[in-house]
Structure 1
Amino acid sequence: MPAAFELSKVTVTRPGKTLLDKVSWTVNEGERWVILGPNGAGKTTLMQVVGTTLHPTSGKVRVLGQKLGRVDVFELRTRIGHTSTTVADQIPPVESVRNVVLSAAHAVTGRWNEKYDEIDIRRAIQIMGELGISALATRTFGTLSEGEKKRVLIARALMTDPELLLLDEPAAGLDLGAREDLIASLEVLSVAEDAPVLVMVSHHVEEIPVGFTHVLMLRDGLVVAQGPIASTLTAEALGSTFGLRLELQNDAGRYTARRAAYGHRADRGGDTS
C-alpha cells in the first residue's frame, strides 16, 4: 500500500527549543490517525510539516509522493485539505453555508463573481448531506454554533476532493452535544470508501471517532508510541504521554481516560465521611 506521507528523523528547532526531535512516521493510504499529546508536545508543528507549511530543520519529508524541498509546495497544498480556526476567521459571517462549501472549488472564502459548474454544485450538496449539514445550507456562517461551524469547515475542506485531510483539534471548544455531533460526522467519513487519509490532532481520547485505525503519541517533541490504535493506545503509553497514572476504558471503540486512584482513596471507594 503506497504511503500518503513519510517523515524520516524530522527535527524542528527554534532558538532555545526543540519542537520536534527526530520524528519518523509513515502513514499509508486507507489509514485514519489521531495524534495525542499535551500542550507543547509538538502536535501542531507536526501537522504544519505534513501540511507543507513548515520545513523541518533536518530530516526528510515526502508528502503524496513528493519530496519536500524539491516540489512546488503551493501546487502540492491543493491536494491537502486542512481545517483550522484561521480559515474560519477568513469567512464572511454573512456568507451562506452552501457558498462557504462551494467557494472552496475556487480557493476563495466568499462567493463573488465566480462561476460554478453543475458538478461543483452537486458535489457540495453531496458532501453536506454526508456530514449531516444539509439543513444548514441557507443559514449564514455567522449564525452557526461552534459545532456547526466545525462541520461546515470539514465539508469545505472536502470540497476539492483532497487526498489528505488534516484536522487540527476539530472538537476544541465544543460542548458535549456539539462534540458528539462532530464525532458522528467523522465516523461516517472514516468508513467512506472514497474518503481521504485522515489525520486528527486531539488532547482527549474521548474525541477519537470509531473507525480511526492508528495513533501517534507525542511528548516534548518526541514520539512516545505509534501504531495500530487497538494495540498502541494503552493506559501505560497514554500515562507516559501526559505524565500521569491513568486508567483507560474502551467501550465499543470509544475511549475514556481518568487519573488512576491512589492509596487510601481507592481503598475507601470514594467515601469521604
Structure 2
Amino acid sequence: MNAGPVLRVEDVDVVRDGNRILENVSLTVRAGEHWALLGANGAGKSTLLGLLGALAHPTRGTVEVLGHRLGRVDMRQLRSHVGHVNPRHDLRSPLKVRDVVLTGLTNTIERVPRWSPAPDQVATADRLIDLLGLGDRHEARWPTLSQGERGRALIARALMPSPELLLLDEPATGLDVAGREQLIERMDTLQHTYRDLASVLVTHHLEELPPGTSHVMLLRDGRCLASGPADEVLTSDQVSKCFDHPIRLTRVDGRWSVRADRPVRAHSG
C-alpha cells in the first residue's frame, strides 16, 4: 500500500477557455477516509474529481494520486489503479452483470476480444456482485437492469482491481427512494468491509451521504468554503453559505437531512 496520503492536492487552479473552474483548492485524503465533495451545480465538484481520477491536469498547483504526481506519470496506467464509478457508463452491448464487472480488470467498457478471466477472478467478481446486493442478477443482461442495479454493478466493477481509491460521481443520480437507499446501504457495507479503502463521493444532496462519511469539502464557485471532519464542516451555517440559501441541517442515525430554514412569522393578536 502507498505509505503516504492516497490523494494530495495543493493550491490547484483549473482554467478552461479563460474561465476559472477551480481556484486555490487543497485536499489531502488518507487511507480509510471517506470524503464527500458537496456544492451547488457548477461549484467545481466534478472537475476536482477528474483531477483525483487522473483524467485531467490542473492549470496550476500539484496533484498526487497514489503517490504519483500528475505530469510525471503515465496517466492511463495510473487510472488502472483507481476505482472510478461513472453512472454515465457508455455500454452498448447487452453484457451479463458478471461480464460488466469483469471489465474492471481490463479497464475497458466492452469485453476485450480473446481475453478470458482466470477462475479466481470470476470468483472475485461473483463475491463483489453478492456484496453489492445483486446476488440473483449474475446472469442478468445490462439492458434489463434498473438504474440502481446498474449503479451497484459499476461499483463492483470499480472494485475488481482492488484499488486503494474509489471515486463516485453522483452515484444516486436518477434513482428513486428505494434505489437510493439500497445504494447507500451497500456503500456503508463496503466501508466496513474494506477498512483501508479511501473514497471520494460527489453529490449536491446531503441525503445521499452514507453514514460512514468521515470528511467533507464544501465547494462554492470553484473555491473551498470549508474542509475537514464531517461533523465539523456540516453545520447549518456553513451549508447555508455553500448553497446560498438558509438551510437547517439535522442528523439522525448517522444520516443527514436538510430543510429550508424559514424565519418564524410573528402572530398578530
TM range (shorter): over 0.9
| Cα drift, residue 61 of structure 1 | 1.1
What does the per-residue CA deviation read over 1:48-106, in whole Å, with 9 as the maximum and x for residues that have no partner? Answer: 111111101100111101111111111111110111134x22252x2111111123222
Aligned to 2:21: 19
Secondary structure (helix, strand or coil) at the match of 2:211 reads: coil
Which residues in structure 2 correspond to 1:90-109 (within 5 Å)?
Answer: 90-92=91-93, 94-109=94-109
1:199 Cα offset (Å): 0.5
CA distance in 1, matches of 2:197, 2:255: 22
**1:159 is aligned with what amino acid?**
M
Query: Once the two structures are superposed, what CA deviation does each residue of 1:108-143 show, in whole Å capped at 9, x if it has no partner?
Result: 333443211111011001111111111111111101
What amino acid sits opposite 1:226 in the alignment?
S
Match of 1:131 in 2: 132
> What one-letter code is carried by the residue in structure 1 that aligns with 2:61?
G
Give the number of aligned pairs. 264
Which of the pair is proportionally richer in helix?
1
1:199-214 to 2 correspondences below 5 Å = 199-214=200-215
Q: Percent identity, aligned pairs only?
A: 39
Counterpart in 1 of 2:259?
258
- Report the Cα offset of residue 194 of structure 1: 4.8
SS of 1:218's equivalent?
A: strand
Find the counterpart in structure 2 of residue 80 from structure 1. Answer: 82
SS class of match (2:90): helix
Corresponding position of 2:49:
47
Q: TM-score if structure 2 supplies the norm length?
A: 0.94
Q: How far off its partner does 1:257 sit?
A: 0.5
RMSD value, Cα: 1.4
Match of residue 5 from structure 1:
7
User: How far does residue 195 in structure 1 lie from its aligned partner after superposition?
Assistant: 5.4
One-letter code aligned to 1:175? D
Residue type of the alignment partner of 1:260: D
Distance 2:160 2:231 in 1: 31
**Residues 1:176 and 1:240: Cα distance change in structure 2 (over 3 Å):** same
Please tell me whether the aligned partners of residues 32 and 195 of structure 2 are also in contact (alpha carbons under 8 angstroms): no
* Secondary structure of residue in 1 paired with 2:80: helix
Structure 1: gaps of 5 or more residues: 269-273
Gaps of 5+ in 2: none
State how 1:1-273 maps to structure 2 within 5 Å: 2-86=4-88, 88-92=89-93, 94-111=94-111, 112-194=113-195, 196-264=197-265, 267=266
8 Å CA contact 1:49–1:56 kept in 2: the answer is yes
SS at 1:85 equivalent: coil
Give the 3-state SS of the residue equivalent to 1:236 in structure 2: helix
Kept after mapping to 2: 8 A contact 1:190/1:212: no
